[in-house]
Amino acid sequence: MRWFTVVVVAGLLVGVSGCAQPARTPTSPPVRTPVDAATFTPVVGQRLYVPAYSQIFYADDQRTWDFAVTLAIHNTDETHPLAVQAIRYYNGDGALVREYVADPFLLPPLATHAVTVARNDNEGGVGANFIVEWAADAPVVPPVVQAVMISAAGQQGLSLITDAVVIEETGKQ
């Protein structure tokens, strides 16, 4: 009986170990389809302002806390793609720091596109922000666009989320 128990337990261990999930491998960012300017005729679109904080002041106006920033564009429409036309990152003085879109691309239905600003990238400063421009060739549900800022030191962590604000709109949603 004892051998039977050992064999059953060993069999269960071998069976369970075969169910383990394979290790995940890093993946590259999704390939985005470029917008064909010859056939794409936008009927709706928006220009969005998204506040971001690559740094915030703490204790006084001389000390800052650095944040990593992720800007996420969520296509909330279940059937239509969006054309992401521009993602521009500005510093607190309103100067352009960088552009993230060289060529407009299509964001598939329910897909998300994200760009990041590293924690040690202080070019944006306390008043950083993004301008995002999108368009669609059919009426769509507008995307959800947010900036997520996160930082940690020791056992303390801080996180912030900001929502986009529409500053210009074309067509009817």
Delineate the domains of the chain, giving CATH numbers in brackets.
44-165 (2.60.290)
pTM of the predicted structure, to 2 decimals? 0.81
Q: What is the rounded distance in angstroms from the CA atom of residue 116 to the CA atom of residue 147? A: 9
pLDDT at 28: 61
Q: Residue 98 corresponds to which tokens in the numbers above?
A: 């960088």
Give the pLDDT band of residue 2 (cuts 50, 70, 90): low
Q: What is the rounded distance in angstroms from the CA atom of residue 128 to the CA atom of residue 115? A: 14
Per DSSP, helices labelled H in the chain are: 2-17
Spatial contact of 145 and 132, defined as CB atoms under 8 Å apart: yes
Q: Residue 29 corresponds to which tokens in the numbers above?
A: 């960012």
Query: 6 versus 60: which is more confidently predicted?
Result: 60
The pLDDT tens digits for 112-122 are 999 999 999 98
